[in-house]
Structure 1
């Protein structure tokens, strides 16, 4: 189980998540993603980053079982901070970040791809934020970068998912390809960026972030405040316990 960062070709850095069976990441892994992105930013030879995953799906969010094994709020605070740092590091990475998404991308996974610059997905990929079913909130900031406003609300309230093909129709996903072509398609797109003058690309990344209408770091931190409220009220524990015990959402 690991987060690895390797260099491929001229200036392409590949960050891979590998936490079987479903890439539900423990706290340490979120911080490791942040470290990998910060390393890419600091490396003058890195021109573009691909974020990808091994296994059945791209990302299943936080490891709820890890959280429920810990008394008090220590694990919750660490997980929330880890997600915040990972999302922030992707957004603030000084070079473009391409997310290559296979299978499911839910919860914290949407936070990762929503803050990336380009999304390329396999034809079996789907996206969603099931936080309401887990007694928490979060990643609406990042989902809002993928879907229109009313679609966001409908998905958020119901925990429904959306396919990569539908997101491609919105212009949020750059390309949808067969799963066995995902890595090569992402690499080809990365190579197109890497061939540009890196000084101009780094300036372009900073400029594009500067004209974003929403401060994504502040917006996500605001969402997390409601997650802490739900935890202090005991609501989140009820939902997480039900999920860990039965694998189903809590019914009230």
Structure 2
């Protein structure tokens, strides 16, 4: 599900591959967090490329796992797993370059919003369909990708934005044909890896330190409303209606 390697120039590649849509279960989110933490802890690693195989980058959490659960254990698990994975992207001591193709939804927005650099295929779309699933969360991260009012409109309507739109907002660095996506991400990462690693690690830490708000705390605040919707039965009703 999660594979990791490091090339001769010090770029770690972390690949998510969980067909059919790269929706991750509880264990998958924690495994992703562990892979990022391991890469960042390796002094030989100078940058990370995070990408996925398949039709799309990430479809969020595994809704089937949540629906099959007999209690709220899976909900708590996936909430903590997502928080851990998003935090691992943000806290990784070296820059994280994400390569996005196809759909990037829900948890995929959490990954991208906390990443340092986004390279996208020309077929990539970004969205938060959480309200259609009776959930909330990752508006924290969407607000790092699009302007405030665009974020609100996307959240309320489940509308998506294209890679070209995000490039115009400045959150996507470059848009390339899908066949060139991996190479484009590595070109950026290798450019970072060529710099002095001590300076780059200091730059990452300093940039996190001047963020106007803490995305980890902000995201956990959002998750409280997802718990509320589940405890009151609203989430089950919305998911059942959506699935009809």
Q: What is the TM-score with the length of structure 1 in the denominator? A: 0.95
Partner in structure 1 of residue 116 of structure 2: 117
Q: Deviations over 1:34-67 (max 9, x none)?
A: 0011101110000000110000000000000011
Partner in structure 2 of residue 250 of structure 1: none
Q: Deviations over 1:121-148 (max 9, x none)?
A: 0000000000011111000000000000
Please show how residues 152-167 of structure 1 align to structure 2 within 5 Å: 152-167=151-166
SS at match of 2:144: coil
Distance 1:130 1:224 in 2: 15
CA displacement at 1:238 relative to structure 2:
1.6
Partner in structure 1 of residue 212 of structure 2: 213
Which ranges in structure 1 are unaligned for 5 or more consecutive residues?
247-252
Corresponding pairs, count = 244
Q: Deviations over 1:64-105 (max 9, x none)?
A: 001110111000000000000000010000000001000000
- 1:134 partnered with 2:133: yes
Distance 2:115 2:156 in 1: 24
CA displacement at 1:241 relative to structure 2:
3.1
- 1:7 partnered with 2:6: yes
Partner in structure 2 of residue 105 of structure 1: 104
Q: Deviations over 1:158-215 (max 9, x none)?
A: 0100000000001000000000000000011100000000000000000000000010
CA displacement at 1:227 relative to structure 2:
0.4
1:102–1:124 CA contact under 8 A, matched in 2: yes
1:34–1:89 CA contact under 8 A, matched in 2: yes
1:88–1:217 CA contact under 8 A, matched in 2: yes
Partner in structure 1 of residue 149 of structure 2: 150
1:58–1:103 CA contact under 8 A, matched in 2: yes
Distance 2:16 2:241 in 1: 27
Distance 2:205 2:213 in 1: 15
Partner in structure 1 of residue 230 of structure 2: 231
Q: What is the TM-score with the length of structure 2 in the denominator? A: 0.99
CA displacement at 1:8 relative to structure 2:
2.0
- 1:92 partnered with 2:95: no
CA RMSD of aligned residues (A): 0.8
1:123–1:179 CA contact under 8 A, matched in 2: yes
Distance 1:154 1:186 in 2: 30
Deviation beyond 4 Å, 4+ runs, structure 1: none
